[in-house]
Structure 1
Amino acid sequence: MEKLTIEFSSEPVIEPKRGCDWADTMVLNPALFLDDDGRTIHMLFRATGPWPKKNLKGISDPYPIFLGYAKSDDLGESFKADFSRPALAPALEYDKDKMFIVNTVGEKVMNFANGCVEDPRIFEVEGKTYLTVASRLFPPGPYWERDARRDNLPDWIFTDETGVGQCARRNDTVTVMYELDKNALIFGNYENAFSYVCPLTDGALTDNRDVFFFPKRFMIHGKMQLLMLHRPDNPSKFEGVTDVTTPSIMLAAAENFTDFVTSKATNKLLATSEFDWEEERIGASFPPMDLGDGRWLVSYHGKQLPDYGYTQSFMILKEQENDFPKIIHRVSERLIFAKQKWELPDKFPCPCIFTTGAVVVNDTLIMGYGAADQKIGIAKVCLSELIAYIECFDENGVKVK
């Protein structure tokens, strides 16, 4: 197969809303799910704007990150966004005593999503719908201009020697999971749509994002276990990983969601940067899709500056007996990257196409993507043709067909 055709929005389907305080500056990186009617597509998108009322130190106005809701009645050709209020908002507390939340089992726990909720992914596990977000304890400043993660940190974190204090001093991302009530979200009952489950990554260990699950358990090391994709900033922090210090894709297995931040979880390196467009990092993009026969479609992104920025490609995994799945096909080419004028950088210097959600309608894969970290577009491709193209490459990215 010589060529794969992917269609892209000729213009953004959602743009920042001027005058909307929480979505004034950027909208990007949408999660998608398909309605039971088989035609309506629902979206959660990342958004931000300046928030001067939470400027703690006078260094810069924070830019807390929110999630907004939108829907499409025409299979992604257009979307109507609800800019009246965020669907999910960070609490934005600076007092440690107020930074707690009640989880799904009634426990009062630290709210690692206090500062922002970034890059949503929506998926199902064993019949329940979940949302993961990359979160920070405190909102960053204008992070596209410089490293502004620490512009609004309260004084108490500098003497707190717990894991929370260590995480807070870096203000790195911790991935948090919510149970999602889709009906509550669809009907605008946002207050009851999200139930805090737990953190899935350890912020005291390393920044970790691009985290989501396969929809079923796998037999791994003699146990039926949940299986998670994640992208640690420093993979060598995990047992069995050496000499890999660039952000890479890992798999983790555990019996319970709360086990993934403990020694009960088993981790395995899945993929590292191999090609020039992946030089700085790679991470999984939208949740894996079951292709049948023990095969799984995994979308992933790579980053390299100054030539490529963030671009997207695909791999296929194959289930193994009593072990983690392994890569059987990996495309060495960039398949999704910024080309159109509206997709190219404006506020940000880095070219960026970033997919975080997809649905399948008949044989069409419909993907939502953030462009230039400011706008949202939709890409469509024939799923069977995409699979056939991926199968032209072996596990090392060598084109064999």
Structure 2
Amino acid sequence: MKLNRSEQNPILSANPKNEWENMVVLNPAVIFDDQRQEFVMLYRAAGDTEKHYIYLGLATSKDGIHFTRQSDKPILEPDYEGADGGCCEDPRLVKFGDWYYLTYASRPYAPGRYWLDVPKPWIDPPQSGPAYLKYNNSATFLAITQDFRHYKKLGRMTDSRLDDRDVILFPETIDGKFVRLSRPMNWAGKGFENEKPAIWIAYSGDVLEWGSPALLMKGETWWESKKIGGSCPPIKTEYGWFHLYHGVAEKDDSYRVGAILLDLKNPSKIIARTKDPIFEPEA
């Protein structure tokens, strides 16, 4: 099994007219809205600024390929004086009843140009304070919406002491429990079964408060040798929950895509897993 690139790529590009998205757009969540009969995309965006705040924008499409922006402003942005003050990024969407549930990663401080070795004087936490501030950790937050334009932020849904992202909700409850995948960066190495960051699974009756996560899977092959993480919400099939995940290789630091099939009634059980990547960078 291999995934093929669309000849119509890119389907969305940075917008030089808006400062908040004039540098990059990436890592979107896409869901089909049955009521409006259209694909809805929430995309991560950032401008070419020193602090590099990260936002979510909104675009829609009738065919899943040709997307049109719906606003010149972000539809979700950091609460600059709050816990998600640095960024709203890497969204995932699922629907429960009449509400869409959005998970997004954030940090307390704007990350700055993290690909450059430059000072970030605005990151000045108390050294005796919480780890979330001290290390500018990633945590994952939850918001809900019915129209993709107005959101109720519900707060943090991962442990602030962990650098935990790639948080994905299953699109339905199982035995009355919400199911979550995540990738806590700190839970690896000495004292853990996994040498490198891996995918963990947890269950909850509340969606904000979670039981103790258990290791679901760890990297096994060369293209997963640095870390793995979930990519998008699982799809329910007659054979099991079909889930795409990503692996990062030590040798080239590149991201590649694999797939797993999880048991419908017990998603902690892996039925099948691809050995080779099904999608990878082109030379």
Q: For residues 266 and 133 of structure 1, what CA distance do their matches in structure 2 show?
A: 20
Q: For residues 244 and 4 of structure 1, what CA distance do their matches in structure 2 show?
A: 27
Aligned to 1:267: 213
SS at match of 2:208: helix
Whichever residue aligns with residue 182 of structure 2, its letter is: H
Aligned to 1:396: none
Change (3 A) 1:140 1:268: same
* Equivalences for residues 2-401 of structure 1 within 5 A: 4=2, 6-36=4-34, 39-51=37-49, 61-73=50-62, 75-82=63-70, 84-93=72-81, 99=82, 112-125=83-96, 128-146=99-117, 151-154=121-124, 157-161=125-129, 165-181=130-146, 183=147, 185=148, 190=149, 193-204=150-161, 206-219=162-175, 224-236=176-188, 242-260=192-210, 265-292=211-238, 295-307=240-252, 309-320=254-265, 325-339=268-282
How far is 1:13 from its partner? 1.2
* Percent of pairs with identical residues: 28
Deviations along 1:210-241, one digit per CA (max 9) or x if unpaired, are 1021123334xxxx42211111102259xxx7
Q: For residues 82 and 218 of structure 1, what CA distance do their matches in structure 2 show?
A: 35
RMSD, aligned CA: 2.3
Any unmatched runs of 5+ in structure 1?
52-60, 94-98, 100-111, 345-401
Any unmatched runs of 5+ in structure 2?
none
Whichever residue aligns with residue 92 of structure 1, its letter is: Y
How far is 1:247 from its partner? 1.3
How far is 1:257 from its partner? 2.1
CA contact (8 A) 1:20 1:83 kept: no
Q: For residues 151 and 17 of structure 1, what CA distance do their matches in structure 2 show?
A: 28
Change (3 A) 1:43 1:9: farther
Q: Normalising to structure 2: TM-score of the pair?
A: 0.90
Whichever residue aligns with residue 29 of structure 2, its letter is: A
SS at match of 1:116: coil
Deviations along 1:117-171, one digit per CA (max 9) or x if unpaired, are 11010012455320000100110110122487x54224xx31553xxx3211100
Change (3 A) 1:255 1:35: closer
How far is 1:38 from its partner? 7.5
Whose helix proportion is higher, 1 or 2?
A: 1
Deviations along 1:309-350, one digit per CA (max 9) or x if unpaired, are 011111100145xx65311110111111222xxxx7xxxxxx
Q: Which has the larger radius of gyration?
A: 1
Whichever residue aligns with residue 208 of structure 1, its letter is: D
Greater relative contact order (CA < 8 Å, ≥ 6 in sequence): 1
Paired residues in the alignment total: 282
Q: For residues 226 and 37 of structure 1, what CA distance do their matches in structure 2 show?
A: 24
